[in-house]
Amino acid sequence: MRNRPEPSVVKHPHVHRLIENVEKVVVGKSREIELSLIALLSGGHVLLEDVPGVGKTMMVRAMAKSIGAEFKRIQFTPDLLPSDVTGVSVFSQKTMEFQFRPGPVMTNIVLADEINRTSPKTQAALLEALEEGSVTTDGETRVLPDPFLVMATQNPIEYGGTYPLPEAQLDRFLFKFKIGYPSKSEELEVLNRVESRHPIEELQSVLSLEDILEMKKEVKETFVNENVKQYIINIVNATRQHHAVFLGASPRASIALMKAGQAYAYMQGRDYVLPDDIKYLAPFALQHRMILNSDAKLSNATNERVVYDVVEQVHIPTGKETAR
Amino acid sequence: MAKFRTKPINSITHLFIYALTFLLLWEWLRPIPVVTNTAEIHLFVWFAFFSTVLIYIRVPFWLTIPTLMMASIYGLHIIFYEGSFFSREGGWETVKLFSSEAWYNFGLIFSRDFAYLTDPFRTFLFFLLLALICYLLYYWIFQTRRIFFFLLSTIIYITVLDTFTPVDASTAIIRIVIIGFFMLTLLHMLKIQEEERALGKRGSSFISPAWMYTLILMILAATFVGVIAPKPDPQWSDPVPAMRTLVLGEGSGTGSGVRRVGYGENDERLGGGFVQDNNVVFSAEVEEASYWRGESKHEYTGKGWISDPSYVESESVFEDEVDYYMFEELAVLEERTVSIVMEEGVGFSHLFYPGQLKQLDRDSLTYLSGSEEGNNESIQFNTDTVNGRVQAEGEEDITLTSYDLVYDDPTFPIETLREGSEEDPTEIQELYLQLPDDLPDRVVELAEEIVEDEDNRYDKAVAVEQYFSRNGFEYQTTDVPVPDEDEDYVDQFLFETQVGYCDNYSTSMAVLLRALDIPTRWVKGFTAGEEIEETENDRTIYEVANGNAHSWVEVYFPEVGWVPFEPTQGFDNYADFEEEEIDIDVDSEQNNLEDPERPDTGMDEDLLGDLDEGMESETDTEVSGGSDENWIDFSQFLTLKSLLISLVTLVMVMVIYEKQNRLQNHYFIWHYRFMGNDQRYLTAYQRLLWILENEGLPRGEGETLREYAKRMDLALNSQAMSKLTKTYEKVYYGGYKPDGDWEERQKDWEEIVKSLNS
């Protein structure tokens, strides 16, 4: 495995404060916090593929609390119905009308736990919310609040009793990454922190929802140079042509990569995107959007490795071509 | 680039290269039995192999040294002592003997009596040397990655041995070249890989089979072509005899079957080897080096030379008149003087003179009459009008001891020689075209073949003169046979032995030319001798020894006279041949007819342009003279001037090639110092990328500028590249207009380029 790029030093003051705050609760996961924040700022969603108990909920809760956002958690089970997610209209005897009871998805930050354990129908209900930013029940479309971030987790697919998410659905997530186990020293730090009481209880918000909305607006204004766009396209194209890949990344992947790049550049206090940003984010943004062919699977290639492979080979426009 | 050197990494390739160096070491040992009387060379080879292995497997030093010590003592035992080493007595005895020997020899070393070191101890030192060399080789391969020096010294060693000793290295040199190619390429590949690894571009050291096969194929193909390609004969005469003359004072002589070199009287039966004799015959103070003529002979018998002298009394020898004429009106003569002092105990009664003798100075003449010092009255000089021998006669035997001469130093204009008439006077034809009746026909045929492209006497003579050095004849003073009764001396040399000394060469040339109806005669005397010192008035003292005894050829040119030629390999003709200086105007016109641009000398590559111009005058005359003789006139390229010019040009080309990047970088620094501004920030940075790539530090394809900058800063030990890159990113990706950025970053830019140059 090639040495992974380290997350850059965060420079934007808001972002810095936010991450510091979340880190009071979550130990040693600054990169994952940063990625989640990118998703929040660029309006994307995150898929975590993780075993239980590594602090996913804590991280999301801490984030929600830090920005003063509403947080809900949906535990997906095989018998969960779409309406349990989106909400349901019940007949009110008092008003003699149907009244909408919003489901848990109608909130700012949703933790969708073990999303692959529920039926495809329910999955689809959630995923519509992801993509459209709205839910439709009883023929009525209801806009979801802004900001809106879904952190879905899924058990590693090898586990029994799961309904793997179809590729089309996976495409709707901006990032897929793992939180993973903490190191020994980090775990010790976790124990120390929760010894008397849980730090999440005392966590104060450091930003308001308005701040987040303001930031989201600014992110959209981050400049993306033609060459960088070209670079994004080159990378996505390269995944389609890679010999180990059966189905490459879609144009939606290009969009996602660019938006993520904007957010990431913004978070570093830059108002333009660098190829470095794209290169760093590409593995997280692309690995779940492609299917390897059976040869590659047999030879133990992973999606992640293929993306690393691709970004190492794709030419980066530097302007030097004109000097020749 | 020393900056990227990392810890040495050993691999199977290194082992392979190490094995190759061992083979080279073997090449060093191979010729030793030939040049020395070492018999058991295989012992040394095994010892070298043993130490090579020990050093390779990195046996700790405290173990290596005693082991090698024992191994060398075992080797000594095999060479010098008897009995089985492993029996208690044998081995122990050797150790005891050797330690006392060593003790004794250490004493000798400290008292600096190196000559008395005993053989076993010398052998031990040789073992020691071998072990050291093995370690050195290991160090060269595994630490410094440089082996060229060793390869070069191996080649020099082998070629020197091949040239100066009986060692025949014609196959060894092929082996060395193959091994050397392999070593150099493999080492170079490894070096490149290491640099790449240091820059983080490659994970492991590995040479792909495709490369290996290509390498093997290329080397084999190159060697094959090298071996089978036709090789031109040496363009210059073999320098070895000349060097030997210079270094060892060797020479040749008219040793007619005698065993010692020197000036003899009887040349009826030539052939046979001789031994050297460096006893001085006379010393002479003269303005210009020249051959010393004793006499000539005109009749070739098939075995040697005889003559039919016709002496006249030369009364006027002291008054500017000698009855012997060598040159005619068209030779350019310059009068010079010479003082000759004969060595004591050397008994010559005739004169030796350079050029054409004109006058003998009566006042300075001293001689012994019998054993008494003679006075001038009792001496008379007789001149052989045919052969030019000037002989002193007196009542008793005369031995000349010193004399001063006035002589004419000739210069022969080549054009005159070429264009002059070839109608010889009858008296010349009668005397100097004689050949024995039984001269084999093939000699005549060979003569015609040699000159078939020549149309005048001079070119024919030169063709024959040069024939020997171009056709594998070898100069040799020993092992030269005397022809049998039914053999011809010249025929034997030309077609059978092809080895010999001056007599063979000069006689053959004379006979070959006579076969072409060109009058020649055979001249004997001494070569110029060894330069001893320069006197104040620009004259030089030469010491002429027995070893300088020599013979050469004079060829008759009507209206010019007798022109000396020097066919013997390794000897220079001292006669002056003058190329006429042609006036530029005439010259260019003449040239235009043949070649409007430049004479076809085969040297018209651009590289040699300067050189060529510098030598215009020489090459021009050459072309107008006849283009078939480029190889003869090649010596004229070797003037000091042209040599200097070509040397300087070569050095300059090498320096420029070597420094081209440096020069280029200096140019860019200068360029951007004056032309750089904010608008050019982008191009300046891009130029920097270009320069870095040029210096072998390219950006990887998928490497972002930031990563690249970090890597460069690490490699160049600076911060500059990252700073520059940040600004560049802002301008290039961020779309910002540079504002004072160039001014701010120029120092960083220059810092990088300069650190590349250092």
DSSP for B726-752?
HHHHHHHTT-PPPSSHHHHHHHHHHHH
Q: Say which amino acid occupies B619.
A: T
Residues B350 and B476 in one domain: yes
What is the C-alpha to C-alpha distance for residues A258 and A239, in angstroms, rounded to an integer?
16
Q: Which fold has domain A1-218?
A: Rossmann fold (3.40.50)
Task: Give the count of domains, chain B.
Answer: 4
CA distance B185 to chain A (A): 29
Write out chain B residues lying below 8 Å of A314, CB-based.
701-702
- Count of CB atoms within 10 A of residue B419's CB? 11
Residues B413 and B527 in one domain: yes
For residue A297, CA distances in Å to A236, A294, A302 come to 20, 5, 7
B409, B288 in Cβ contact below 8 A?
A: yes
**Tens digits of per-residue pLDDT, A216-269?**
999 999 999 998 999 999 999 999 988 888 888 999 999 999 999 999 999 998
Write out chain B residues lying below 8 Å of A275, CB-based.
704-705, 733
Which residues span the domain enclosing B115? 2-228
Residues B566 and B691 in one domain: no
The pTM of the full predicted model, rounded to 2 decimals, is 0.47
Residues B506 and B606 in one domain: no
Q: Where are the domains of chain A?
A: 1-218, 221-317
For residue B174, CA distances in Å to B28, B155, B226, B646 come to 14, 10, 9, 30
Any residues with CB less than 8 A from the CB of B533 and at least 6 apart, and which? B540, B541
* β-sheet bridge partners, residue A113: A75
Write out chain B residues lying below 8 Å of A223, CB-based.
734-735
What is the C-alpha to C-alpha distance for residues B11 and B190, in angstroms, rounded to an integer?
10
Q: Say which amino acid occupies B445.
A: E
B687 reaches A (C-beta below 8 A): yes
Q: How many beta-carbon pairs under 8 angstroms link A with B?
A: 65
Write out chain B residues lying below 8 Å of A274, CB-based.
704, 706, 729, 733
Examine the fold and report which residue of B553, B578, B603 is the final residue of a domain before the chain moves on: B578
**Tens digits of per-residue pLDDT, A266-324?**
999 888 999 999 999 999 999 899 888 888 888 888 888 889 889 888 988 887 654 33
pLDDT at B375 (0 to 100): 67
B residues 176..195 contacting A (CB < 8 A): none
What is the C-alpha to C-alpha distance for residues B73 and B91, in angstroms, rounded to an integer?
9
pLDDT at A216 (0 to 100): 92
Residue B234 in domain:
no
B703 reaches A (C-beta below 8 A): yes
- Give me the mean pLDDT over the A93-114 stretch: 87
CA distance B742 to chain A (A): 17
Write out chain A residues lying below 8 Å of B700, CB-based.
312
Q: Do A318 and B730 touch (CB under 8 A)?
A: no
ipTM: 0.85
pLDDT at B243 (0 to 100): 64
pLDDT at B635 (0 to 100): 53
* Partner-chain residue, chosen from B682, B703, B734, that has the shortest CB–CB distance to A319: B682
DSSP, collapsed to helix, strand or coil, labels residue B21 as helix
Q: Do B686 and A318 touch (CB under 8 A)?
A: yes
What is the C-alpha to C-alpha distance for residues B643 and B640, in angstroms, rounded to an integer?
5
pLDDT at B618 (0 to 100): 40
Q: What percent of chain A has pLDDT over 70?
A: 94
Which of A2, A274, A308 is the mutation pick for testing B, counting most B CBs within 10 A?
Answer: A274
How many residues are given for chain A? 324
How many residues are given for chain B? 758
Residues B632 and B664 in one domain: no
B481, B272 in Cβ contact below 8 A?
A: yes
Residue B266 in domain:
yes
Which of A118, A42, A16, A137 is closest to A75 using CA atoms? A118
What is the C-alpha to C-alpha distance for residues B123 and B131, in angstroms, rounded to an integer?
13
pLDDT at A274 (0 to 100): 92
Residues B590 and B555 in one domain: no
Q: Do B687 and A323 touch (CB under 8 A)?
A: yes
What is the C-alpha to C-alpha distance for residues B667 and B664, in angstroms, rounded to an integer?
5
| CATH tag, A221-317 | 1.10.8.80
Q: Do A227 and B682 touch (CB under 8 A)?
A: no
Q: Read out DSSP for B638-667?
A: T-HHHHHHHHHHHHHHHHHHHHHHHHHHHH
CA distance A299 to chain B (A): 20
Report which secondary-structure segment, H or E, holds B172: helix B170-198
pLDDT at B424 (0 to 100): 85
Q: Say which amino acid occupies A231.
A: Y
Q: Do B701 and A314 touch (CB under 8 A)?
A: yes
Residues B618 and B727 in one domain: no
Residues B510 and B609 in one domain: no
Longest CA pairwise span in chain B (Å):
117
Residues B597 and B717 in one domain: no
* Angle, vertex CA B175, rays to CA B173 and CA B178, nearest 5: 110
Tokens read off for B502: 């001056």
Scan for tokens 């040009």, then name that residue: B649
B754, B669 in Cβ contact below 8 A?
A: yes
Examine the fold and report which residue of B176, B194, B228 is the final residue of a domain before the chain moves on: B228
Residues B574 and B616 in one domain: no
Angle between helices A303-313 and A226-241 (to 10 degrees): 130
Q: Exposure of B213 by Cβ count < 10 A (0-12 exposed, 13-18 middle, 19+ buried)?
A: exposed
Q: Do B706 and A323 touch (CB under 8 A)?
A: no
Using omega within 30 degrees of 0 as the cis cutoff, is the peptide bond preceding B239 cis?
A: no
Q: Do A275 and B704 touch (CB under 8 A)?
A: yes
Q: Exposure of B684 by Cβ count < 10 A (0-12 exposed, 13-18 middle, 19+ buried)?
A: buried
Tokens read off for B103: 């003790």
Hey, do A1-218 and A221-317 end up sharing a CATH topology, with the first three levels equal? no
Q: Exposure of B698 by Cβ count < 10 A (0-12 exposed, 13-18 middle, 19+ buried)?
A: middle
What is the C-alpha to C-alpha distance for residues B547 and B277, in angstroms, rounded to an integer?
5
Q: Do B702 and A318 touch (CB under 8 A)?
A: no
What is the C-alpha to C-alpha distance for residues B688 and B696, in angstroms, rounded to an integer?
13
Which of B60, B24, B44 is closest to B128 using CA atoms? B44
What is the C-alpha to C-alpha distance for residues B270 and B277, in angstroms, rounded to an integer?
18
What is the C-alpha to C-alpha distance for residues B595 and B601, in angstroms, rounded to an integer?
11
Chain A CA closest to residue B735 = A225
What is the C-alpha to C-alpha distance for residues B626 and A108, in angstroms, rounded to an integer?
102
Pairing of strands B576-578, B398-413: parallel
Residue B643 in domain:
no
What is the C-alpha to C-alpha distance for residues B239 and B245, in angstroms, rounded to an integer?
10
Q: Give me the residues of chain B with pLDDT under 70, please.
A: 1-11, 82-83, 85-91, 199-208, 233-262, 273, 275, 320, 374-378, 579-639
Write out chain A residues lying below 8 Å of B735, CB-based.
223, 225, 272
| Confidence band of A157 (pLDDT split at 50, 70, 90) | low
Angle between helices B720-732 and B681-694 (to 10 degrees): 130
Report which secondary-structure segment, H or E, holds A194: helix A184-194
Report which secondary-structure segment, H or E, holds B715: helix B705-716
Residues B478 and B342 in one domain: yes
Residues B310 and B435 in one domain: yes
Examine the fold and report which residue of B207, B228, B249 is the final residue of a domain before the chain moves on: B228
A123, A77 in Cβ contact below 8 A?
A: no
What is the C-alpha to C-alpha distance for residues B588 and B623, in angstroms, rounded to an integer?
11
Q: Do A312 and B686 touch (CB under 8 A)?
A: no
CA distance A99 to chain B (A): 51
Q: Do A320 and B689 touch (CB under 8 A)?
A: yes
B704 reaches A (C-beta below 8 A): yes
What are phi and psi for residue B268, nearest 5 degrees? Answer: -70, -25
What is the C-alpha to C-alpha distance for residues B391 and B388, in angstroms, rounded to an integer?
9
Chain A CA closest to residue B731 = A272
Q: What is the DSSP letter of B471?
A: T
Sign of CA dihedral B36, B234, B511, B561: negative
